Amino acid sequence: MIGIFDSGVGGLSVFREIRKLLPQESYIYYSDNAHCPYGEKTREYITDRARYITRELLSKGADIIVVACNTATAAAIATLRAEFPDIRFIGMEPAIKPAALSTRTGVIGVLATAGTLKADKYLLNRGRWAENVRIVEHVGKGFVELVESGDTCSESAEKTVRESLEPLLDEGADKIVLGCTHYPFLSGTIRKVAQELYPERDVEIIDPAPAVARHLVEVMEAEGLMKEEDQAYSISLLSSGDDSCLKETYKRLL
């Protein structure tokens, strides 16, 4: 069984890509929305939550876990791997490499939480490409809250997106890397705002979820964790708070 967790519904954007490749597998998804958002919380707080959620997923039968949250990956995945050495953990990482290799303007923008942008893991990845391209960053202020409330395309959502996206576009970015799993739910609004602000520029939004899904398949094949196709599958949704947003978002996506 594949365990997946995030601070809220954002990880469903990763779950969606995984199910495309592994429709026969069983899943358990944990939304920690009672403690969402993670972006401004301490590393210790996030690690404690990740540790607790991991135990919950293992108790339900998970044998591999996807940390479908950039902030939790940056803060806690090294600790999880050390404390649960028999379990494989798949984490998230902003897709700077493909953006750097395909930019035409030489400028890529990164939208992420404050926790992700200051994490060692992100800074190391950024440093590998900073000599070849200019990387500009902005916290997606209010993005997680919009997604958790189900508001992704209203005028208010557009205003919130514009405030964080415009500074990146003004710097010349033609690639926008989404560094939080909640943000893909705002892709339509991000694309609309970019088109309105710079209609002459072909701005591409880069979501790392498909690459994470492919990596998960590779790991499961290597570890012998793939389920036989004729076995029954199940999907369980868990939440630390009100589960109405989780269920509604799941229905809409999957």
Positions annotated as catalytic residues are 69, 180
> Rounded to an integer, what distance in angstroms lies between the CA atom of residue 210 and that of residue 110?
18
Map residue 141 onto helix, strand or coil: coil
- In the structure encoding, which two tokens stand for residue 30, read together? 């944990």
Indicate the residue type of 132: N
> Rounded to an integer, what distance in angstroms lies between the CA atom of residue 48 and that of residue 63?
20
Give residues with Cβ within 8 angstroms of 34, minimum separation 6: 239, 240, 241
Continuous segment of H or E residues that includes residue 176:
strand 175-179
Taking 3-state DSSP, the helix, strand and coil percentages for the chain, each rounded to the nearest 5, stand at: 50, 15, 35
